[in-house]
Amino acid sequence: MKFPLGCDKPRLRGPVSDDRTATLPEIAMPEKRTIERARQDKREGKSASTQAGEFVREEMEHIREGKHGARSTKQAIAIGLSKARRSGVDLKPPKKGTTSERTRKSAASAYARGHGAPARKKTSAKRSRATEQALKREGRSAASHTSLARQARSAAAKRTRSQRSAAARRASRTKGPAERSAAARKAARTRQMHSHA
């Protein structure tokens, strides 16, 4: 299957969210540098979730810059993941029972759109404007370092030790010597920090 991340203008319309909001075309359109970073990740053999992380990072930058806000860190991440799926990242929708049906259907729709499904009916300008204003009214704390750290801890706590270890091993296979060395130093600092806690 062709990976369409090289598109200059990915076609992005419709809801890109978790249970809480839809977005508008100008917020949903990823930047070219984000698409290029995701393509580079794919060329390096990195996972779909790593590629999608580039879109989540862009979303956090937009929130910090004040382009729009988010109700929660989960919502900001969900918008980024949807942008990734609509841009062609091969990130499968969540399995049944792991999240709400509404979220799952939204993710499935975004995934299908990024993999060749025809566009659905265009969102009305009035609804688009309302969504834009709703997101702009939301706060900026969703992208704070504290919120992101809390979300990371919460996500990690849901995985077993062996799952976390397996993920780390998979990630190390796509790193070069310098990146592996930096990751090892970071891991050592983390272990030391927790040993004093």
pLDDT the model gives residue 28: 64
Q: What is the pLDDT of residues 129-181, one digit of tens each?
A: 888 888 888 999 999 999 999 999 999 899 999 998 998 888 888 888 888 89
Whole-number Å distance between alpha carbons of 13 and 24: 7
pTM to 2 decimal places: 0.73
The tens digit of pLDDT for each residue in 105-132 reads 999 999 998 988 887 777 788 888 888 8
- % of the chain exceeding 70 in pLDDT: 85
More confident residue, 158 or 13: 158
Please report the pLDDT score of residue 7 as a whole number: 41
Please give the average per-residue pLDDT across 183-194, as a whole number. Answer: 89
What pLDDT is stored for residue 71 in this prediction? 92
